């Protein structure tokens, strides 16, 4: 469930009076999502998404995200476009929270992943990376490698209550990832740019078999482009039992390279990047698992799914080991 902040009819009507979006016919809270409060608005001019940004999003960074979405949409990437009010403002305040309206994307995210999703996924990711090259402002990845040890430390002894020995296992994995990270001391760097950084199936919409758009840019940042591919390999290419699907991974890579061919060094780095991506989601899920009350509205995601993926990656040194 992700409606943390209620909005009264009066407040919404006053808010919408600032926009040229016609008359409101329906406002419905959206249950999906975990970070922010989202509402579907129907007006006499169409459908829109109203987002109230909750505590995890840094208010100062909202213009960066909204302008990135606008930039990408202008460059032809199918993603929500922020809607400005009559005074040209994209970011406003509603019910005491920062708020924005974006365009509505048709389609639905795939609950079951098929081979047919993978190539278009790779293509859209590469298009996003190319389009992002002309968006100059930088945003540091707050959940990048420098954040992983502090995140683990912030879990304290509770990590070992989730799984005995987990802290030591994560420490040992970090020792096999951090020194080999592209751009770390003595390691060659790789192409960088704007990345989505959370391109999970629930953030990619399909209409029939066509990819209709990408949403949820609130983890987007400036980082290694190939790291975004590694995130997708983790999020799209493992089944519920934790088995890796090499054909899905081949589809993603093929689609990506049709639009943006990878450098040899990027391909070579994919195994370490895949370890890092699994580590990032293991740690944030672990933190949330420990710090979200069991009776909270939001469903906690299982950190151990990502421990299994991390173990899988740690057992492979090269792309050959993945069947790629």
Ligand X SMILES: N[C@@H](CCOP(=O)(O)O)C(=O)O
Ligand Y SMILES: Nc1ncnc2c1ncn2[C@@H]1O[C@H](COP(=O)(O)OP(=O)(O)O)[C@@H](O)[C@H]1O
Measured distance CA(279)–CA(60) in Å, rounded: 27
The token duo for 150 is 């502090």
295 binds, among ligand Y, ligand X, none (CB under 5 to 8 A by kind): none
- Contact call for residue 38 and ligand Y (CB under 6 A): yes
- Give the CA distances from residue 63 to residues 69, 71, 98, in Å, rounded to whole numbers and listed in that order: 10, 12, 11
Measured distance CA(54)–CA(34) in Å, rounded: 10
Range list of β-strands (E), the chain: 24-29, 37-43, 46-52, 82-83, 92-94, 97-103, 192-195, 204-207, 210-214, 221-224
Q: How far is the CB of 320 from ligand X (least distance, A)?
A: 28
Length of the chain: 324
Measured distance CA(48)–CA(81) in Å, rounded: 10
Q: What is the footprint of ligand X within residues 255-284 (CB under 6 A)?
A: 281, 284
- Contact call for residue 305 and ligand Y (CB under 6 A): no
Which residue, 168 or 302, is less far from ligand X as judged by CB? 302
Q: How far is the CB of 258 from ligand Y (least distance, A)?
A: 26
* Cβ(316)–Cβ(324) below 8 Å: no
Member of 5, 29, 33, 290 binding ligand X (CB under 6 A): 33
CA gyration radius, the chain: 20
The token duo for 294 is 């069991």
The residues, ordered by sequence, that sit 6+ positions from 159 with a Cβ below 8 Å of its Cβ are 152, 166, 167, 170, 286, 290
Q: How far is the CB of 101 from ligand Y (least distance, A)?
A: 10
Which residue, 108 or 138, is less far from ligand Y as judged by CB? 108
- Contact call for residue 228 and ligand X (CB under 6 A): no
Distance, C-alpha 302 to centroid of its chain:
17
- Contact call for residue 203 and ligand X (CB under 6 A): yes
38 binds, among ligand Y, ligand X, none (CB under 5 to 8 A by kind): ligand Y
Bridge partners of 211, per DSSP, are 206
The token duo for 196 is 């989505």
Q: How far is the CB of 289 from ligand Y (least distance, A)?
A: 17
* Cβ(76)–Cβ(100) below 8 Å: no
Lay out the site mask for ligand Y across 103-132 (x = CB under 6 A, - = otherwise). -xx---------------------------
Measured distance CA(104)–CA(207) in Å, rounded: 13
Member of 21, 49, 69, 174 binding ligand Y (CB under 6 A): 49
Member of 34, 69, 79, 105 binding ligand X (CB under 6 A): 34
According to DSSP, residue 263 is labeled P
Which range in 35-43, 155-163, 272-280, 307-315 contacts ligand Y by CB under 6 A? Answer: 35-43
- Contact call for residue 34 and ligand Y (CB under 6 A): yes
Q: How far is the CB of 219 from ligand Y (least distance, A)?
A: 9
- Contact call for residue 2 and ligand Y (CB under 6 A): yes
9 binds, among ligand Y, ligand X, none (CB under 5 to 8 A by kind): none
Member of 15, 69, 80, 199 binding ligand Y (CB under 6 A): 80
User: Residues interacting with ligand Y, by CB under 6 A?
Assistant: 2, 30, 32-36, 38, 49, 80, 102, 104-105, 202-203, 215-216, 218
User: Residues interacting with ligand X, by CB under 6 A?
Assistant: 33-35, 198, 200, 202-203, 216, 281, 284-285, 301
């Amino acid at each position: 469930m992700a409606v943390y902040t209620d909005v009264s009819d009066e407040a919404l009507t006053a808010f919408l009076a600032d926009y040229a979006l016609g008359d409101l016919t329906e406002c419905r809270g959206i249950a999906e999502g975990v970070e922010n409060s989202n509402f579907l608005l129907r007006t006499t001019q169409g459908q829109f998404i109203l987002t109230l940004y909750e505590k995890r999003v840094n208010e100062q960074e909202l213009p960066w995200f909204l302008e990135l979405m606008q930039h990408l949409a202008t460059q032809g990437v199918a993603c929500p476009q922020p809607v400005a009010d009559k005074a040209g403002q994209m970011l406003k305040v509603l019910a005491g929270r920062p708020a924005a309206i974006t365009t509505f994307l048709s389609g639905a995210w795939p609950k079951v992943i098929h081979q047919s999703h993978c190539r278009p996924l790779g293509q859209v990711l590469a298009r996003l990376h190319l389009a992002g090259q002309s968006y100059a402002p930088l945003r540091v990845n707050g959940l990048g490698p420098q954040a992983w040890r502090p995140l683990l430390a912030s879990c304290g002894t509770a990590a070992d209550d989730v799984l005995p020995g987990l802290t030591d296992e994560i420490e040992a994995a970090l020792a096999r990832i951090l020194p080999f990270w592209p751009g770390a001391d003595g390691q060659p760097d790789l192409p960088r740019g704007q990345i989505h950084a959370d391109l999970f199936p629930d953030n990619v919409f399909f209409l029939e078999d066509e990819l209709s758009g990408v949403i949820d840019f609130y983890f987007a940042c400036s980082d290694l482009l190939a790291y975004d591919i590694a995130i997708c390999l983790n999020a799209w290419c493992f089944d519920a039992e934790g088995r890796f699907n090499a054909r899905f991974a081949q589809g993603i890579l093929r689609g990506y390279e049709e639009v943006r061919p990878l450098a040899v060094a990027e391909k070579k780095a994919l195994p370490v990047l895949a370890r890092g991506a699994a580590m990032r989601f293991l740690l944030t899920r672990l933190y949330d698992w420990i710090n979200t009350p069991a009776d909270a509205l939001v469903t906690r995601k299982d950190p151990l799914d990502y421990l299994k993926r991390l173990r899988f990656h740690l057992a492979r040194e090269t792309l050959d080991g993945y069947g790629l």
